[in-house]
């Protein structure tokens, strides 16, 4: 039996494919390596922390049953990301709803925010997350997804092109225009914070890059 802690992804995949009904630990090791990244990206891509956990689990289920068809031409992580992106995009196309998160509706009136010595900083951070969330919600799916894949997930332009099935030049243009639109809209978002957006953990400061 291979050492699960030191085995690379390809070795773990081979073990799972060779004996799919055997020891579950090799695939569990793959899940442990990538579950944080997959979960975070499901949140970013869908705009819904509440949906993200279910989607992430579904991504790994699809990956498990799809491993026999994995030819190893790309890295396992790249293959897994493709599954994640496609699954999240399919989810969005089915849902076709506003991407609004209400993770914690009463967060603006929490006792710890009223009494904490870091109240002002906490409110500033919440307001910035609210503005980022509102700005991302204002982008179209075609604008938001490549921007997040690049600036939040750190994928290369080529990887994004492969995930989305579009040309490299189209990816670069979309991201350039999305960054410009993001900055423009972000500066324009100044309405008071609402309970709906204050609770979101989906968006993080500094999403876009200069």
Rounded Cα distance, 69 and 10, in Å = 14
CA distances 7 to 74, 169, 209, Å, are 17, 37, 35
46, 88 Cβ separation under 8 angstroms: yes
Q: For residue 149, give the nearest of 45, 31, 36 by alpha carbon.
A: 45
**Tens of each residue's pLDDT in the chain, 210 residues:** 677 778 888 999 998 888 877 788 999 999 999 999 898 878 777 777 788 899 999 999 999 999 988 888 888 998 998 898 888 878 877 764 433 333 333 333 344 434 444 566 656 666 776 777 778 878 887 888 888 888 877 778 998 898 788 999 999 999 999 999 999 988 886 544 433 333 333 333 345 444
Q: For residue 98, give the nearest of 154, 161, 58, 47 by alpha carbon.
A: 47
> Is this prediction's pTM over 0.85?
no
9-95 CATH choice from 1.10.1740.10, 3.40.50.300, 3.50.50.60, 3.40.50.2000: 1.10.1740.10
107-198 CATH choice from 1.10.510.10, 3.30.300.30, 1.10.3720.10, 1.10.10.10: 1.10.10.10
The pairs formed by 89-97 with CB atoms below 8 angstroms and a separation of 24 or more are: 89/45, 89/141, 89/145, 91/46, 91/51, 91/55, 92/45, 92/46, 92/141
Q: Where are the domains of the chain?
A: 9-95, 107-198
User: pLDDT value at position 113?
Assistant: 36
């Amino acid at each position: 039996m291979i050492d699960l802690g030191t085995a690379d992804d390809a070795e773990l995949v081979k073990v799972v494919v060779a004996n799919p009904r055997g020891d579950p630990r090799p695939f569990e090791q793959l899940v442990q390596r990538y579950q944080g990244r997959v979960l975070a990206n499901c949140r970013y891509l869908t705009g819904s922390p509440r949906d993200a956990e279910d989607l992430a689990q579904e991504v790994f289920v699809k990956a498990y049953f799809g491993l026999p068809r994995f030819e190893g031409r790309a890295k396992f992580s790249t293959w897994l990301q493709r599954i994640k992106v496609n699954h999240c995009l399919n989810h969005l196309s089915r849902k076709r709803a506003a991407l609004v998160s209400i993770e914690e509706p009463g967060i603006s009136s929490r006792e710890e925010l009223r009494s904490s010595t870091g109240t002002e900083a906490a409110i500033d951070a919440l307001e910035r997350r609210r503005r980022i969330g509102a700005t991302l919600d204002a982008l179209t799916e075609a604008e938001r997804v490549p921007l997040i894949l690049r600036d939040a997930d750190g994928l290369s332009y080529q990887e994004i092109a492969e995930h989305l099935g579009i040309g490299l030049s189209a990816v670069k243009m979309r991201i350039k225009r999305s960054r410009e639109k993001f900055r423009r809209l972000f500066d324009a978002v100044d309405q008071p914070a609402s309970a709906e957006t204050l609770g979101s953990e989906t968006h993080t400061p500094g999403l876009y890059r200069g």
